[in-house]
Amino acid sequence: MIIVTGAAGFIGANLVNGLNARGIDNILAVDDLQQGDKFINLAHGKIADYQDKDEFRSRLTTSPTQSGLADVTAVFHQGACSDTTERDGRFMMNNNYRYTLELFEWCQAKRIPFIYASSAAVYGAGPVYTESLENEGPLNVYGYSKFLFDQVLRARMSSLTAQVVGLRYFNVYGPQEQHKGRMASVAFHNMQQFMAEGHVRLFEGWDGYENGGQKRDFIAVSDVVAVNLHFLDHPKVSGIFNCGTGLAQPFNDVAATVVNTLRESMGEKTLSQTELVRQGFLRYIPFPEDLKGRYQSYTQADITALRGSGFTAPMKDVQTGVAHYVRDWLAQS
């Protein structure tokens, strides 16, 4: 059996689908369904059982035969609060850090491979995004909750009993993120805005960047799943790895791809960014004062270590990945 925590969430649900595509459906899905609408993500995949997160955490302290967890072969720990604006540090540290630590200790005691979600938020403002302590400085308690567990792994690397891999996700987008609200991807919000208002809003220039010119490493969730499954296939590899494309692209690229793909579906022609702005399809709003100093204006994953682990599959750029996402979203609407 494979355990996927956060299985009703964005990346977790896509990971379940990725395992299903391999013919694997003996999956224990763990999540918190207080937000009941997330069930739809579980309904898209095949699982053997569902467990509430709090009940699952309590099962980790009982014997394997009593807990029903005697035949676990791997754990994908995707469950976390990913709200970068959450200020409740007690909640964040219990839900993200302590939960991860408990599951890590359980997997180590049982010698079970453990692949968990870290985050590019550990790097803070950057500008260097290489997996090394001197480059790390989280700007919020979410980033710190991920950063702190990464330090636990680093301290235990020489004494691990089974594989442990931390994946620092950059800006992930793709299907099954509809429940995330304001924490959904830029691409998702761009789609919603254009369909509702006929245009997309981006931030004006700030921090040395032109209007809509702030850059992020945007990665398709299908590529994130491929990275996770790569490490499942290579259980002797442990460590902390960036999970991005290695290519920073401006928010303008995401918005232009969204608008042009939606226009294409309406039989309209593709327009350049300049023309999209001139015709009012792309509009710029003042950069929020409360985000200044707490905003990543640029991220670009150094994927040297990831490639060195043997992951050789190509990554989708924004023009390819976002266009595919928009078409998939239209097909499901």
The rounded radius of gyration (Å) of the Cα atoms in the chain is 20
* Confidence band of 68 (pLDDT split at 50, 70, 90): low
Cβ atoms of 174 and 188 closer than 8 Å? no
User: 203 — phi, psi (to 5°)?
Assistant: -75, 145
Q: Is 144 a catalytic residue?
A: no
Say what the pLDDT of residue 200 is: 98
Q: Which of 77, 4, 80 is closest to 45 using CA atoms?
A: 4
Q: Quick check: 236 pLDDT over 90?
A: yes
Specify the 3-state DSSP secondary structure of 243.
strand
164's enclosing H/E stretch is: strand 164-169
Catalytic residue among 116, 123, 142, 169: 142
Cβ atoms of 175 and 222 closer than 8 Å? no
* Confidence band of 64 (pLDDT split at 50, 70, 90): low
* Confidence band of 34 (pLDDT split at 50, 70, 90): confident
Average pLDDT over residues 232-260: 98
Measured distance CA(198)–CA(192) in Å, rounded: 9
Domains, the chain, with CATH or none:
2-174+219-247+300-316 (3.40.50.720), 178-214+250-291 (no CATH)
pLDDT tens track for 265-278: 999 999 999 999 99
220: left (phi over 0), alpha (psi -120 to 50) or beta: beta
Which position has the higher pLDDT, 249 or 289? 249
pLDDT tens track for 122-168: 999 889 999 999 999 998 889 999 999 999 999 999 999 999 999 99
Measured distance CA(325)–CA(318) in Å, rounded: 10
Kindly state the percentage of the chain with pLDDT values over 90. 81
Q: Hey, how many other C-beta atoms are within 10 angstroms of the C-beta on 88?
A: 12
Average pLDDT over residues 104-119: 97
Which position has the higher pLDDT, 34 or 306? 306
Burial-class residue 63 by CB neighbours within 10 Å (0-12, 13-18, 19+). exposed
Q: Is 316 a catalytic residue?
A: no
Which of these ranges, 66-75, 81-90, 200-209, has the smallest mean pLDDT? 81-90
Cβ partners under 8 Å of residue 10, min gap 6: 41, 172, 174, 176, 177, 179, 180, 221
Exposure string over 298-317, b if 16+ CB within 10 A, otherwise e: bbbbbbebbeebebeeebbb
Cβ atoms of 172 and 224 closer than 8 Å? yes
* Confidence band of 57 (pLDDT split at 50, 70, 90): very high
Q: Quick check: 332 pLDDT over 90?
A: no
What is the average pLDDT score of the chain? 93
Where do we find the tokens 């200044």?
292
Tokens of 278: 């001139």
Say what the pLDDT of residue 85 is: 67
Cβ atoms of 172 and 221 closer than 8 Å? yes
Q: Write the DSSP assignment of 273-313 as a string of letters.
A: HHHHHHTTSEEEEPPPGGGTTS--SB-----HHHHHTT---
Specify the 3-state DSSP secondary structure of 131.
coil
Catalytic residue among 180, 209, 284, 295: 180
Kindly state the percentage of the chain with pLDDT values over 70. 97
Say what the pLDDT of residue 67 is: 59
The number of residues making up the chain comes to: 333
Predicted TM-score of the model (pTM): 0.94
